[in-house]
Structure 1
């Protein structure tokens, strides 16, 4: 799960890495889902960002911040990436931009734990 915004320079810089990690997960047929949480902009602006950066994994449009509030302070910085385990517990958190290699490594670690 990645909290992002099109106005956020680190979010822009990590977008290609997130897409690369997503493609790797898909190619390897791992039981993993990606989800973006757009923060503080109109749905049209967020969708435009996704198209411009060729992001193919799903992302929720900003809706007043309800999903972000539900994270109870676990993703206060933008960007923040959370890796959840099979029980939906936070297994890893990266506050700031994440690279494809770091993210796929975290995913592999979580999957290896069962």
Structure 2
């Protein structure tokens, strides 16, 4: 009798978990160790992103990087969003200044988002004592709060999650698909972007 090969499907799921874990490990390593190798660029000026001002400013008079150095990393724009669980409490990216931050933009209907959440939770549990912040941002403009909260409860997600009702982060991070993870250095620069 022909049917579904569950054994093969199980291997595929483990393969996905291993790939996500490897990507998170590589990105986490670059966040932790990159600031020790890269000097901050002169003249970088962060701005607070709003719906009216979605841009990053840099001083045009800053020196051009020497050919044997890496180009300056872009500064992550600051934003302020309400907590998903307690909407009376707002969070800003600058609240976590001096700490490496993984920002994960997600929606409850997004299967790849759901697949990577357990790996993000495991990384959070393993490295939060080292100062790592994982900040989930539900794309509430495209989702519902009830569905998002149900997903967090079902997967037992404990890292902080925010709600983006107006699509602010979709604009400032130029989101073209979900999930989107951004790896921000302790200096507030975007070191890596993973779709």
Q: Which TM-score band (shorter chain)?
A: 0.7 to 0.9
Contact 1:42 1:61 in 2 (8 A): no
RMSD across aligned positions (CA): 1.3
* Cα distance, 1:80 vs structure 2: 1.0
Higher relative contact order (CA 8 A, sep 6+): 1
> How many corresponding residue pairs?
91
TM-score if structure 2 supplies the norm length?
A: 0.44
Q: 2:162 aligns with which of 46, 50, 60?
A: 60
Which ranges of structure 1 fall in alignment gaps of 5 or more residues? 96-114
Q: Tell me the residue number matched to 1:79.
A: 179
Q: Tell me the residue number matched to 2:73.
A: none
* Cα distance, 1:21 vs structure 2: 0.8
Which ranges of structure 2 fall in alignment gaps of 5 or more residues? 1-102
Ranges of 4+ aligned residues in structure 1 off by more than 3 Å: none
Greater Rg by CA: 2
TM-score if structure 1 supplies the norm length?
A: 0.73
